[in-house]
Amino acid sequence: MVEYRRCLLGAALTILALVTSPSVLAAKTVIGSKAFTESVILGELAAQLTKEAGYDVEHRRQLGGTRVLWSALVRGDIQCYPEYTGTLRTEIFASQSVRNDDELRALLARESMWTSKPLGFNNTYVLGMRRDRAAELGITRMSQLASHPTLRFGFSNEFMQRGDGWPGIRQHYGLPQQNVVGLSHDLAYRGLAARSLDLTDLYSTDAEIVHYDLTTLVDDREFFPAYDAILVCREDVASAVRESLDRLGGRIDEMTMTKMNARAALDREPESQIAASFLREELGLASDVKVESRSARIWRRTREHLAMVGISLGLAMLVAVPLGIVAFHRRGIGRVVFAIADILQTMPALALLVFLIPWLGIGYAPAIMALFLYSVLPILRNTHTGLADIPRDLRESAEALGLPRIARLRYVELPLAARSMLAGIRTAAVINVGTATLGALIGAGGYGQPILTGIRLDDTKLILEGAVPAAVLALLVQWLFGWIERRWVTAK
């Protein structure tokens, strides 16, 4: 039975690998970008320049944070992404204490990475407050924060963690604030607007600085290092592509970038269009972008979403049902299996996704793997419960007929447990439809894509474009399982 389980798991993983293999994309140059507007615009610029160089290109937008992009680059899931020198120095090469950008370039070369010329702007971190709030307290410099211990800080989750973020600032400036929360960058702006937060981290080129009427605090003890924007690529990227990308060198200053950010964030202009018009006006390139119609968009995301939910659910059924049966017949194995499944279930989805990236890369594979792991427990538990709830006399009747164990399982026990098993599968499916929206964070697309973009741009319509189909899909799944249950497993 153990052998059998191992085979099954192996088969499941093989299918997973086949379905999600990056080899499908091998011919393409893949550009990644982080989950904020500026990175998406820069990624779009890089993508269009790659295309200009005559290469097939795919832009995987808003994949996540630095860690996600860097590991994707190292693995070769993406070939390039926009980055900041400061981030590389302090996040990726923190242990090497890199002093300047030449050293950085050398380090990157050792990792088989190539960097473009600096694009021309320094997007450093700054701390921002509402202009009126800062004026009220008379704060203009970061060192003044020390005398206002009750201020409420809300930092982007990444900023909360990184060495050059909040922990570093607190130490460098000796800040006493206790009321510090981590949240998404875009929610932080809204927190400031609603006065539930006093201060957040910003990028110096953020369009929102204008939009929310914020003031940025002077870094009077020079904590933040320079964050020159560059493009990092794998060395194996074609030289024609590198040349094309280097045409951006020195062409984007802070003002230009802030304006482009504002066009995306405030005017809701698609990043591809902003990038195209920049390339047209600054570099004289006739870059044309085709705009996907809304229904085509929704249909594409539906397919992506269904693929994630369907494949993960199918795999989970293949694994969890036999595992549930084994767990029922072998108490000891059962306890171990349930302990592991319980732990997996309590792991936050985002953590699980990021955890899977070094192993499975970005895109469908980690998303499906994570959803698969979440689906296992409900199916496993309900299979087990369904079997355990079969009355003893029915079990004994089946035995008394002289049926061997497999036949009893097939003809009596599984049919009697079917209702409970189906309920487990239904639970898993509905959870999956919701959780799959997080797949967008690691490049698996789906309904999460517009939700993510919508939150980033504070665009309710866009959020609804993802949230409504997701809700409808969840209802459809409920209905489908209700129908299956009525049709096939209603107790007679």
Partner 1 sequence: MSCAIAFEHVSHRYLHAVAVDDVSLRVEAGETVALIGPSGCGKSTLLKLAAGLAWPQQGSVIVTDRKLAPDNVLEIRRRIGYVIQSGGLFPHLSAVDNVTLAARFLRKERQWIADRVAELAELVQLPRDALDRYPSNLSGGQRQRVSLMRALMLDPAVLLLDEPLGALDPMVRHGLQEDLRRLFKRLGKSVLLVTHDMAEAAFFSQNIALMREGKVVQRGSYRDLIDAPAEQFVSDFVKAQRGLHAEALDG
Answer for which of 403, 467, 471, 484 binds partner 1 (CB under 8 A) is 403
Query: Does residue 329 interact with partner 1 by CB under 8 A?
Result: no
Closest contact distance (angstroms) between CB of 398 and partner 1 is 8
**Distance in angstroms between the alpha carbons of the first and the last residue of the chain:** 32
Angle CA 405–409–414, to nearest 5: 170
Closest contact distance (angstroms) between CB of 424 and partner 1 is 18
Closest contact distance (angstroms) between CB of 489 and partner 1 is 8
Label residue 343 exposed, middle or buried (CB < 10 Å: 0-12, 13-18, 19+).
exposed
Q: Closer CB to partner 1, residue 179 or residue 397?
A: 397
Answer for which of 255, 336, 394, 475 binds partner 1 (CB under 8 A) is 394
Query: Does residue 396 interact with partner 1 by CB under 8 A?
Result: yes
Answer for which of 138, 284, 332, 402 binds partner 1 (CB under 8 A) is 402
Query: Does residue 412 interact with partner 1 by CB under 8 A?
Result: yes
Query: Does residue 296 interact with partner 1 by CB under 8 A?
Result: no
Q: Which two tokens stand for residue 155?
A: 């930092």
Q: Pairing between strand 180-183 and 153-156?
A: parallel
Q: Which residue has the tokens 């919508």?
A: 454
Helix axis angle, 349-360 to 364-388, nearest 10°: 120
Query: Does residue 210 interact with partner 1 by CB under 8 A?
Result: no
431 neighbors 477 (Cβ within 8 angstroms): no
Q: Closer CB to partner 1, residue 18 or residue 491?
A: 491
Please state, in angstroms and rounded to a whole number, the distance separating the CA atoms of residues 224 and 86: 8
Maximal C-alpha separation, the chain:
87
Query: Does residue 401 interact with partner 1 by CB under 8 A?
Result: yes
Answer for which of 132, 397, 472, 480 binds partner 1 (CB under 8 A) is 397
Interaction residues for partner 1, span 418-437 (CB under 8 A): 418
Interaction residues for partner 1, span 33-62 (CB under 8 A): none
184-192, 228-236, 326-334, 402-410 -> range binding partner 1 (CB under 8 A): 402-410
Q: Which two tokens stand for residue 175?
A: 């800040």
Query: Does residue 416 interact with partner 1 by CB under 8 A?
Result: yes
Answer for which of 146, 291, 296, 407 binds partner 1 (CB under 8 A) is 407
Which DSSP letter does residue 27 get? T
Query: Does residue 487 interact with partner 1 by CB under 8 A?
Result: no
Answer for which of 99, 486, 487, 492 binds partner 1 (CB under 8 A) is 492
Answer for which of 138, 284, 332, 404 binds partner 1 (CB under 8 A) is 404
322 neighbors 337 (Cβ within 8 angstroms): no
Which DSSP letter does residue 481 get? H
Q: Is 137 left (phi over 0), alpha (psi -120 to 50) or beta?
A: alpha
Within 10 Å of residue 451's Cβ, how many Cβ atoms? Answer: 20
Binding site for partner 1 (CB under 8 A): 393-394, 396-404, 407, 411-412, 415-416, 418, 491-492
